Amino acid sequence: MTLSVRRLRGVERLAGPLLVVRRVPGVALGEEVLVRGRGGAVRHGQVLELDAEALVVQVYEGTAALDLGSTVVELTGGPFRLGVSAQMLGRVLDGRGRPIDGGPPIVPLRSADVNGRAINPSARASPEDFIETGISAIDLLDSLVRGQKLPIFTGAGLPADELAARIATGARVLGEERFVTIFAAMGTPRRVADFFRAAFESSGSLDRVALFLNLADDPAIERLLTPRCALTLAEHLAFDLGMQVLVVMTDVTNYGEALRELATAREEVPGRRGYPGYLYTDLATLFERAGRVHGRPGSLTVLPIVTMPDDDITHPIPDLTGYITEGQIVLSRELHGRAVFPPIDALPCLSRLMNAGIGEGKTRPEHRAVADQLYALYARGRELRRLVTVIGEAALSTAERRVLAFADLFETRFVGQGATRRSLDETFALAWQVLGELPREELIRVPTDVLDRFWRPANGGAANGRAREGGP
């Protein structure tokens, strides 16, 4: 509508991230604005509200050091759009998508509204292509598929970043090309951003990665834009160019806090723990951009990292994330304390899309049965472990003690793989190794023909024979 930039004076109110200025005709809801203070440095903002007298602008960099008299608001005539192109791979960008690596400017192929558009549910293709992440606990028990959104729930000090970096650099689609990774840092310490960069560099995949960095000392409100920029590029690569794209976002908790800061400044009615009532919807507009589309070869897989404040999975951010995403990988402080890496707590983990991506012709025909068996035994082992703290190990039967030992072995040997990447074959081989510690009669979830083929007793038959020793 307006090609020429229009300048507004008459700022009426400055408060936190909000700026209220007298209105002129023709301003659009969601329009991008530039804000210049006394020193002339440019800040960026977006129109949030329009009424008869004034317009409310959210300023991404905050309003500190602005004054009412000399601040000028410039209207750009449209919403914030990001120029996207495959050239952005291999580059480091700021939280709004501008290069900060000293490299050449990016020539965009097209530009897109960073808010994206909802995918027509009828146009979505069901995600069903197995991704081999190289992590045993994920590949066998909670398989990831292309187009899924699977968060990592972590606690302060737990190695979620290391796990995410391993997945991003190690992920393969069976028999196909590797992934390109878009990394979105939201309020992340520089150390973490450097870590990811180094991880991509050492794996030789830096040219297949685009990093969008909003670091801890960058403007908080800009965090609301960073994942949207990252996803906009991801959509272009996946749905326009047909690439397999993985988006790693860290940390969703910082994002939620930025949203709360803005909501508080707008004096909105707070929901749980001060977060706005639309936190669910807002997070959904990020995570739901994952998926596959009929007739388009690419896929967009999202791996958000969520730090659970005080390890509390019922905190609104992990809670709402869990309601939107298709499962979760949960890290355990206890396993981490015992130097198990990755410290994945298999019990609360879940992949809702797993069944579609495994089995005959995809992974192994016996995949589901083996996963169920491992899970059931481990769950039983954990239950026994709790019981032992009350009644002592001596009160257990021999069979129960074997399950207890299995749980330990499952954690240290199967889950705890350290720095190595395991192929799916290696993961299955290891699974059978730990299952070999138990008599085959106890593997009730695995069909007999599968046991015939794969089950071998560990250590030359220590576990042979039926468990008759139990009980008094």
* Of residues 398-437, those binding another protein (CB under 8 A): none
> Pairing state of beta strands 72-79 and 350-351?
unpaired
How far from each other are the two terminal CA atoms of the chain, in whole angstroms? 86
CB of 306 to another protein, least distance (A): 13
By CB under 8 A, tell whether 289 contacts another protein: yes
- Name which of 81 and 413 has its Cβ closer to another protein: 81
Could you give the strand order of the β-sheet that contains 130-132, starting from the edge strand earlier in sequence?
A: 144-145, 130-132, 172-173
334 vs 343: CA distance, rounded Å = 8
According to CB under 8 A, which residues from 342 to 361 bind another protein? 347-348, 350, 352-353, 355-356
Residues 6 or more apart from 241 whose CB is under 8 A from it? 86, 298
According to CB under 8 A, which residues from 177 to 236 bind another protein? none
By CB under 8 A, tell whether 395 contacts another protein: yes
By CB under 8 A, tell whether 297 contacts another protein: no
* Candidate segments 8-16, 81-89, 100-108, 117-125, binder of another protein by CB under 8 A: 117-125
The 8 Å CB, 24+ separation contacts for 463-470 are 463/402, 463/436, 463/437, 463/438, 463/439, 464/439, 465/439, 466/439, 466/441, 467/397, 467/398, 467/399, 467/402, 467/439, 467/441, 467/442, 469/397, 469/398, 469/399, 470/397, 470/398, 470/399, 470/400
Residues 6 or more apart from 134 whose CB is under 8 A from it? 166, 167, 170, 171, 172, 421, 422, 423
* Candidate segments 26-34, 93-101, 198-206, 241-249, binder of another protein by CB under 8 A: 26-34
**From residue 31 to residue 50, what is the string marking binding to another protein with x (rule CB under 8 A)?**
x----------------xxx
By CB under 8 A, tell whether 369 contacts another protein: no
Query: Of 72, 81, 280, 432, which lies in the binding site for another protein, with binding defined by CB under 8 A?
Result: 280
CB of 1 to another protein, least distance (A): 8
According to CB under 8 A, which residues from 142 to 181 bind another protein? 147-149
Q: Find the radius of gyration of the CA atoms of the chain.
A: 26
Chain centroid to Cα 165, Å, comes to 11
By CB under 8 A, tell whether 322 contacts another protein: yes
By CB under 8 A, tell whether 384 contacts another protein: no
How many chain residues bind another protein (CB under 8 A)? 82
By CB under 8 A, tell whether 470 contacts another protein: yes
* Candidate segments 224-232, 284-292, 404-412, 430-438, binder of another protein by CB under 8 A: 284-292
By CB under 8 A, tell whether 281 contacts another protein: yes
- Name which of 107 and 390 has its Cβ closer to another protein: 390
According to CB under 8 A, which residues from 58 to 97 bind another protein? 79
Judge contact between 258 and 187, C-beta under 8 A.
yes
